[in-house]
Amino acid sequence: MQPEQSLDTHTPRPYRLRLMRADEAAYHSRYHRNILPQSTEVDIAAYTAWAASAVNRGQFLVVFAEDEDGNIFGSAAATMLEYGPTAGRDCPVFARICNCGIEPDWRNRGIGTKMIEHLIQLCRDRGVERFSLMTMPDAQPLYERLGFKTVEREMLLDYPSNRR
């Protein structure tokens, strides 16, 4: 598969956006760990194995941002969730955007926005019409600029893991 080229000439440092391959799941797991610092090595290994499998099944898309030397400095993901058609929507697939991050030296250049836009377009090309995400307060303006709206009805039930 050819990388999806998006060489940016507006920033002083060139980069490109491309889709992650399943064999690169460990790179994305690095960002997952940054988001959930309490994750153990066992957690990261399990997440890496799941991510590789989900990419192969077409249930998980990850966009990497990399510099001109191929060094990955950013990652944004979407998990495809199949809900079935609902009132007013024929598309049974919903995408949950997750695990987005950029190395500090690359922040505040619009790259995060471009990664999310690219990820959304890849999902839209697969028929996805609805997206959701949870975000940190400092990233909320980025998602609002992209058209996301705050919905305060989400709830969480968290059972302890049997893995530990």
pLDDT band at residue 29, thresholds of 50, 70 and 90? confident
Instruction: Check if the beta carbon of residue 118 is closer than 8 Å to that of residue 146.
Output: no
Q: What is the pTM of this model?
A: 0.81
How far is it, in rounded angstroms, from Cα 63 to Cα 156? 27
Q: Is 159 domain-assigned?
A: no
At 12 the pLDDT is 66
Range of the domain at 70: 15-145
Which of the pair, 22 or 136, is modelled with greater confidence? 22
Between CA 108 and CA 115, with CA 113 as vertex, the angle to 5 degrees is: 110
- Contacts of residue 156, Cβ cutoff 8 Å, sequence gap at least 6: none
How many beta carbons lie within 10 A of that of residue 5, not counting itself? 8
Between CA 117 and CA 105, with CA 17 as vertex, the angle to 5 degrees is: 95
Q: Is 153 domain-assigned?
A: no
- For residue 94, the domain's CATH number is 3.40.630.30
Q: Is 23 domain-assigned?
A: yes
Instruction: Check if the beta carbon of residue 89 is closer than 8 Å to that of residue 54.
Output: no
Q: What does the pLDDT average to over 135-161?
A: 86
Q: Is 4 domain-assigned?
A: no
At 2 the pLDDT is 45
How many domains, in total, are found in the chain?
1
Q: Is 5 domain-assigned?
A: no
Q: Is 3 domain-assigned?
A: no
Two tokens, residue 41: 């090595």
Q: What does the pLDDT average to over 76-90?
A: 80
How far is it, in rounded angstroms, from Cα 109 to Cα 105? 10
Q: Is 1 domain-assigned?
A: no
Partners of residue 17 on adjacent β-strands: 65
pLDDT tens digit sequence for 110-125: 999 999 999 999 999 9
